[in-house]
Structure 1
Amino acid sequence: MIFKSLRAGRYVHQFWSKSTLFLDCICGLGYSVISSSMKEIKVKDASPMCTLAPDTEPRIQPSSSVSEDRKCSSISVKSTPEIEKKYVHHVYDAIAPHFSSTRFAKWPKVAAFLESLPTGSLILDAGCGNGKYLGLNSSCYFIGCDISPSLIKICADRGHEVLVADAVNLPYRTNFGDAAISIAVLHHLSTENRRKKAIEELVRVVKKGGLVLITVWAVEQEDKSLLTKWTPLTERYLEEWIGPGSPRVRGPSSFTLESIPETEENGLGGHPKDSRVSLTENMQQSSCSTPQNEDDSMVSRDGKSQQEYFVPWHLPYHRAEVSGASAGALANGLAKKDDKKGAVVYNRYYHVFGEGELERLVSGMDNAVIVDKFYDKSNWCIILEKTLEG
């Protein structure tokens, strides 16, 4: 693997106070902030604080000072599709405390990347969840964001500098950070354009020479039996999931919503011996040669093109009683009870990535290059280096 160090001369951040630095990175973008030292600070022209109720949708409104290049982004890319609102945002708000209790172990590859960064580096964790990577390298400064107010509150209570934000519309200045990470986030975005935009945003906010680490779930799961526990979606919409109703699923489904071990990210264990080496070498040789079918969806190694899934999360009844979010989800048909397992079952939307797909998303970018790519714990991963300012 390549963990290229950032250029020297970027250590000025360590001399700034946390609050000053955090505000400077978002100054003028019109976002409200939650942090350990600032429970609510309204930045100039900021909209009111995002409600932290677990069953409400965060509303973040950029001010008129947002740069022109962001204004030019298509409305379809910035507008959150219904499937993401219902089966990503609301789900993680509802399961946040339980989800957080399962997220404590650090991936060795992510930890090694963060530890490789120079002293004083400013690092952004976009989609930080419960903040398990924030502060991992004590010689660097970390900021984080996530779409879930409930998860962000957990981070703030732990003393991290965080805010609620959308991955496709990051509230940070261009060329500000030294590095950024996006761990298990892009697979929750339901269109290719939104996934591309999220990568562009990660690159935008780091300086020239800055590094970006991205990981996503792979369709090429080491444990193929996991796929039988996920509910496949019938249709892959090319541009948008449309309509207020639930997305269509196969019916009657041949799969049952069985419990999936949720120990670390996608609940998988370690690799079979030497699997990472062989898969990485194979990807380096043919990562751009994965076949595609006529509707441009990825074709996996077993010849199937299914990449859109609902992955269940079982929230124990005693956890579900903590808030009213589960009661509302059950009433609205967004979750179901499983008395046998004693849990409320939520479905989380995933677009699992085929081999080479992540690289293709960045192939057209003129301001970043791939400096490393690898397969790790049933995830496809890339490290980008920003080559141009802006």
Structure 2
Amino acid sequence: MKQINTESVSSLSTPEIEKKFVHHVYDAIAPHFSSTRFAKWPKVASFLSSLPSGSLILDAGCGNGKYLGFNQNCFFIGCDISPSLIKICLDRGHEVLVADAVNLPYRTGFGDAAISIAVLHHLSTENRRRKAIEELIRVVKKGGLVLITVWAVEQEDTNLVTKWTPLAEKYVEEWQGPGSPRARVPSSVSLESIPESEESSLGGEGVKVCKEGKVLGDLKEEKNVKNQQEYFVPWHLPYHRAEISGASAHALATGLATKDDIKGAVVYNRYYHVFSEGELESLTNGITNARVVDQFFDKSNWCIILEKTS
């Protein structure tokens, strides 16, 4: 009888927290999100420019496709979990499809290189993050390079962290399987409006933590909790944009979004697992067919370049 790898099965099963606070959110905010995403990160641009002419490059989690076609001497294909973002890419003439980062629909050894830019921090378990890395390595040829970037715990602007909402104990039920993160703030969260800057999509004012009906105070005190890595990061969708997106009415009705009348926006919360120093490299431990070529910190992101060795 064939044995089932339960760890692999669990990593392929999407936790509810990702469905609600990643997939649903990006579908709802896609056009507005895309309008703010056009600048190319220099390190990513440098990596893409360094690849040999004629290379086939896979962008896993391509978003609005801002890197697709960046190097005109190479061929690009992309995928993303959000159908709304993929439609934007298709309208721009890119070769893309809807796919999950932990289960890429490409044959082994398909591409010459792959990139995963700001994607892994939206995966809510260690197993899923590792599986996504394994998939990136699988789909490139021997000698192929993989660039991965994720948000860092060690933010250059520490004020930003005080404006994020740490995930509370009540969200534990959203995670499934081994490798699930452990909640570190023993309270439920009452989310208030948090403004953001266009560049970072972060920012904010005080968010209050409540327990048994009592306000414990501003989260600035709570955010000193050691090793906190699970957060909600808000996105403000202007009312005129929300009217275009039919998803917002449903999100408001079901409690997946809130209204901020002062700012005239529907507020969505996106799930993030921010990475500590060395964590990205540690996920590659046990992956025998790849080696670390480079790793670095860039603009509040941890980055790693892997080479497939066999």
Alignment TM class, shorter chain as reference: 0.7 to 0.9
Q: 1:250 to 1:148 in 2, by over 3 A?
A: farther
How far 1:338 sits from its partner (Å)?
Answer: 0.3
Could you list the per-position Cα deviations for residues 168-196 of structure 1 after superposition, in whole angstroms to 9, with x for gaps in the alignment? 00000101100000000000000000000
Matched with 1:383 is: 305
Counting aligned pairs with the same residue, the percent is 78
CA-based RMSD: 2.6
**Alignment check: 8 A CA contact 1:81 1:190 kept:** yes
* Aligned counterparts of 1:77 and 1:368: Cα–Cα separation in 2: 20
1:259 is aligned to 2:167: no
Matched with 1:198 is: 132
Give 2:31's aligned amino acid: P
1:370 is aligned to 2:292: yes
* Aligned counterparts of 2:294 and 2:286: Cα–Cα separation in 1: 17
1:124 is aligned to 2:46: no
* Aligned counterparts of 2:40 and 2:8: Cα–Cα separation in 1: 36
- From 212, 236, 251, the equivalent of 1:314 is 236
Q: 1:236 to 1:110 in 2, by over 3 A?
A: farther
Matched with 1:357 is: 279
* Aligned counterparts of 2:268 and 2:71: Cα–Cα separation in 1: 34
Matched with 1:347 is: 269
Structure 1 gap segments, 5+ residues each:
1-67, 268-301
How far 1:259 sits from its partner (Å)?
Answer: 1.1
Q: How does 1:193-342 map to 2 (within 5 A)?
A: 193-235=127-169, 241=175, 251=187, 253=189, 256-263=192-199, 304-342=226-264
TM, length-normalised to structure 2: 0.85
1:79 is aligned to 2:13: yes
Q: Secondary structure at the match of 1:182?
A: strand
How far 1:235 sits from its partner (Å)?
Answer: 4.2
**Alignment check: 8 A CA contact 1:103 1:265 kept:** no
Could you list the per-position Cα deviations for residues 38-81 of structure 1 after superposition, in whole angstroms to 9, with x for gaps in the alignment? xxxxxxxxxxxxxxxxxxxxxxxxxxxxxx9x988622110100
Q: Secondary structure at the match of 1:179?
A: strand
* Aligned counterparts of 2:79 and 2:87: Cα–Cα separation in 1: 11
**Alignment check: 8 A CA contact 2:58 2:77 kept:** yes
Give 1:350's aligned amino acid: Y
* Aligned counterparts of 1:224 and 1:84: Cα–Cα separation in 2: 26
Structure 2 gap segments, 5+ residues each:
177-182, 204-223
1:165 is aligned to 2:99: yes
- From 71, 76, 82, the equivalent of 1:148 is 82
The farther-off stretch of 228-237 and 172-181 is 228-237
* Aligned counterparts of 1:265 and 1:180: Cα–Cα separation in 2: 26
How far 1:110 sits from its partner (Å)?
Answer: 0.2
* Aligned counterparts of 1:250 and 1:230: Cα–Cα separation in 2: 16
Q: Secondary structure at the match of 2:85?
A: helix
Q: 1:153 to 1:71 in 2, by over 3 A?
A: farther
1:175 is aligned to 2:109: yes
* Aligned counterparts of 2:10 and 2:172: Cα–Cα separation in 1: 12
Matched with 2:39 is: 105
Give 2:53's aligned amino acid: T
**Alignment check: 8 A CA contact 2:169 2:187 kept:** no
Q: 1:255 to 1:81 in 2, by over 3 A?
A: closer
Q: 1:303 to 1:347 in 2, by over 3 A?
A: closer
Q: 1:231 to 1:264 in 2, by over 3 A?
A: closer
**Alignment check: 8 A CA contact 2:252 2:258 kept:** yes
**Alignment check: 8 A CA contact 2:83 2:98 kept:** yes
Q: 1:328 to 1:175 in 2, by over 3 A?
A: same
* More strand by percentage: 2
Give 1:134's aligned amino acid: L
How far 1:253 sits from its partner (Å)?
Answer: 4.8
